[in-house]
Every structure is written in structure tokens, then in C-alpha cells.
Structure 1
Amino acid sequence: MGHSKIRNMEEFAALSGISRPTVSKYFNDPESVRSSTRAKIEASLKQYDYQPNVFAINQNRRTTKNIGIVVPNLADPFFSEIGRRVELACIAAGYSPILQSSHGSPEMERDNLNSLRSLKPAGVLLAPFGRMSDADAVKSFDDDFPLVLFDANMDGIGQAFVGTDNYQSVDLMVEYLCRSGEAPCFFEMKYPSNPNANKRRQAYIQSMERHGHAPRIFQADGEGWNFEEIGRTEGGRFLSAKEFSTNTILCSNDRLAIGMLSAAYSLGLRVGHGADCDLRIAGHDDHPFSQFTCPPLTTIAQDYETIANRAVSELFGMLENNDRLSDRTETTFYGRLIMRDSA
């Protein structure tokens, strides 16, 4: 016989012949009930096709199985990809991820953290804006909940940080560009949205000086997340004025480089590594589209999966020990050079 849809845990308990407190105990922690009872509950779940309201269960706990994941902008394929990997790692560990985008707005980042408070998350994984973030709001959240930062760091905030070693990755690219052709100019935004940009500029300066070259930095007007448009318009302006002092341009990120490729094409400049080419263009991040540009973009690959898994591991380590880390940890991973036709 068919059954009408079960509306709540009380109805499920009555139909399965198990007390409501025992059913609740099972949903809070299946291992906390006897194996025979657990088997009976799981058979009833299958028989009645019942799915409990996870959020309602969580709201009755002091701590929940919710994990907040906040990224600056899900419209950016870089953050959608790393956010997806963090989300999958949470699901694999039996947690309920809540993925939120701040849509390029530091104010919305603060609002996202405030909304997560009402859900009483077990912990939160945050890719912050950095200097643009409301540091007081992030610090206040850090005081109340386990917080792990990834991708971008904030000094003294969060119990752990996981990201890419920008000094290693940029040096790797500069070394390659110098030995394979002319030393690179560096193209970046004057007002970068992400603190990684500042680290990459400093890494470029240090690497150029170590290789015996004078740094040549060119900054694009504009701010925000329209990197491709800024790269196209400002890159085109520099190219038209012949301001770049070498034929090699290292862009602070792949999205700026994609815009620069568009500008070069519109000006009739051939990009690539060969005697018949006018320019070499390289980027950083291994943006999901970088292998499909024309020509395909030389870049630095960040290890998305390792960063995601380590960030989740740091957070779950705190949750399992029911405590904060005794010392804040910072873990960075090396980037990998991806040589394609653009440089």
C-alpha cells in the first residue's frame, strides 16, 4: 500500500514504531543508537522514502552540520571552480555546505557572514576580499565560529589559511619568460580587488631583480571584477601607445591576460613565441578558459583540489577536536608552469 507524504519526524517515528527521542538521536548522530535500532530506522527511511528537514534539525542543535562557504564572486570561473571543489569535499565528509557569493561587494560579504550566524554553522570557509573586507566583521565572526580562510589571507584572522605560494609561482613564470625570450613587463590593476595581486607584484619585483633586470610595472585604471574589459581597454591603450618596453607581458591574472589578448588581436598584433610574433602574453591562475583562448594562454596552474581539500581538512580537524587550533596555521602550495602558445 502507498503512504501519504510524511510531513515531520513525529509522523515518521509513529509509522516506524520507534520513539521520537530515539529517531532524533539517530539524525543527530547515527552511531549514537544501537546497531539494531539503527538498522530498523534505516529500513523505515527506505520504506517510507522519508527525508528529514535538515535545516530544522540543525536549528535545534548547539552546533550543526552546516558548513558555510563564502567566495567573492561566483560569476568568476576561478571562484566557481574552487568553491565547487570545497563544496564537494564538505559533502564527502557528511556535512551540508551552504555556498554563498558576495557578488564583488565587501558589504555583501559582511551580510553573508551575518546570515550564516542565524544558521549556527559548524564552521565557515571564507575566501575574503582581504584589504577590502570589513575586518572587524570578519574578526567578530572568527571569535564566535571556527573560520578557515582560503585563496586570500588576512593577517591574524581565521584559525588557518590555505592558498598558493605567489612568490614561488610568479618567480617560476618570470624565470621561464626571461630564459625563453625578453624579460617581462608586469601588467596589473591600479586598485586590485584581491590581495593576491599585491603579493604577485612584490614577487615580480623580487624575481626580476634576482635575474638582473629592472622591474617594469604598468597599472591599468579601473577597479572591480570586470577584469577582461579592463585588460582589453587599458591593455589596448598601452599597446597602441607602444608603452611596454619589452615584447613580453606578464599579467597579474588570467582574466586580465584574456582581455590583453583581445586588445592585441584588435590591433593586428600576433601573439606567440616565434620570429613572426609581435608579443608574448602570460597570466596566472590557469583560469578554466585559458586553454581555449587564441592562442592558448601560458599561465600558472593553482592546485584547486589540494587547496580545497586542505582547507576543509583544517576546518574538520578543529570540529573533530571540538576546539580551535592552538596556533594559527598558514599552508601554501606551489604553482605549476603551464606552457602554451601565447608565450
Structure 2
Amino acid sequence: MRAPVSLERKVRFLSRPQSYAGASETVVARETHMSWVFLAGPRVYKLKKPVRFPYLDFSTLDRRADACRAEDRLNRRLAPDVYLGVVPLVEGASGLAIGGAGRVVDWLVVMRRLDDGGFLQSALSAHAVQPSQLDRLAAVLASFYAHASPLSVRGSADALRMSWRKALSRNRRVLQDLRFHLPRGMVARVDGIQTRFLNRRFGVILARARAGRIVDAHGDLRPEHIWLDGRVSIIDRLEFDPALRALDPLDEIAFLQLECTRLGAAWAGERIGRHLRSALHGRHVGGLPLFYRSYRAMLRARLAIMHLCDTRPRTPEKWPRQARAYLRLALFDALKLDRLENAALPAP
């Protein structure tokens, strides 16, 4: 049996301009938590790492092949002219090659390269977003959600309530872990407000679930995945766990609003939300969007700080700072939610 090709060797090969047809002048390699991404001329090649986490498993060649094909297929809906297919990385007599004859050692998702400046994150940071661009984005999202497959909610009302309680508990437990030195009082305050809302208003969440408002959504709707230069394209739809795409669109848009706020552009998220409110049946839901936004901020704080649990965390100084930033946003929305809820309570 031939020895497996190491990830390091694959990355070295894909980082060389001569590895690509047409010999790109330069290759920009970017590492993420789950992938290596190589920007070579007009194309982007994504190599999934052979990793296994509680929420995904890319540890085998077959699993990575399935994930690459799923990513390509799922993203054709919101970025049809960006995703160009899946190609094998092979080892032949002369070494590694992209496509062609040889032993398949991995798989690559191939994409059309998009200019970094056209992404919503870059445009917001540069204060270069036009309201008309946000309106076009809202129209694309409205159409996407209108045609997304509604998902039936499995189990009883008690099961749905318990799943939410577990989600809040996971956030609280990790964020109050003494190893991470995060403000435990802030975590407790946010968690208390979220728990009270869940206890009082669970009926709103349940009613939306029973009305078919849970759909097969994007799953990771962040400004860095939204391209606005020309035709709106939304990339990186989450492929590795369909359950993580099973969302109320109000929840997904709340996440996008959170990320806009984090970039100092709350106005952009609010504009998108206003345009989508009717399309998402978002009227008469009280503080639900604030609950979703505060919950998403706690979740992002948890995911950030858990990077420190990796065997060799990249940029370890980054994650506590990011977690604290999300905690502040979680508290901001939680306090707004608390005021809204208290105002709605009957006078004693």
C-alpha cells in the first residue's frame, strides 16, 4: 500500500504557481479552521483539512469527497456562476497534479475568484455600501427563503423547548469556564434574560415551527460570504450538517444583522431586516429577533473561545478578544430585549 500524502505536501504543492494550468503568477494561500483556500489567477481551489470535530468529520478521503460535492451542489442556488465543480488532486508518476491520471489523494472545490473588495464585509469596513445594494441583497434573500424547502420539526413541543434549553446551557457552560477568564457575571446576566424570554415566549417559536417557518437555509450568512459587485452572490452555504441549516429565516437574518453591527454598520443590517420583515412573516413576533440576535452573539462567543481548545490553536491571542466583543453585543441586545419584555408585562 502506498503511503498517504500528507496535508503539508498538498499545501506546498497547491501554493506553487506552476501547479496550475496557465501558470498563475502568484498564489495566495489562506488557512481556515476547516480548509485551505488557494487563490490562483481567476480561480479559487478549496482543500478540506482531514479534521474531525464534534460537529463535522472530514477525516477520510471519502468524507471529504462527499463534502466537496455537497458544497458545490448546495451553493449553486445562491452563487450559480461562482461554483465551477469538483476536481481530484492526484498523485502520478511525476508527482501531484490537479486532475488527470493518477491515484486520487484528495478533492478540490473549484470556484471563480471574486474580488475581495466586492464582499459586503470589505464594503462595510470601507463605508462603501450603497443602500440599493442592500435592497438587491434583501430581494435575493426573500426569493431564496420563499423557495427554500420547509422542514418539519421532529418531536414534541417539549423536545423543541428542551433543544433550546440545551443550546443556551452549552453557551453558558463554556463561556463561564474558568479557564477562559471571560466576564462570568455578564454571561450570567445575558443567559438569565434569554432563559426568561424562552420560558415566556416559547409559544412564538413553537408557532413558527408548526407553521412551516423552519427552512433549509444558508447556515452561515455572514458579510464575508456576500458578494455585491454586480450580481449578488452568496457563497459558503454550510454543507457538513443539514441540521445546522434548519433555521427560521428570522434567526438567520438576525445573525447577519449581528455581524453587520460588529463591523460598525448596524444600519445595514436594520435596512435588510426592514425589507425582509413582511417576506419572512416577521410581524407580530415581539422580541424574537432580539432573542435570536443575542443568542447568536453568545454562540459566536462560544465558538470563538473554543478555538483555544484546539491542540495547536492558530492566533490564540485573537479568540478571547473576539469572544468578549461578541459578549458585549449579546448583552446589548439582551438588555433591549429585557426592556421590551418588561414593558409588555401587565401592570401589577
TM-score under structure 1 length normalisation: 0.24
More helix by share: 2
Q: Which has the larger radius of gyration?
A: 1
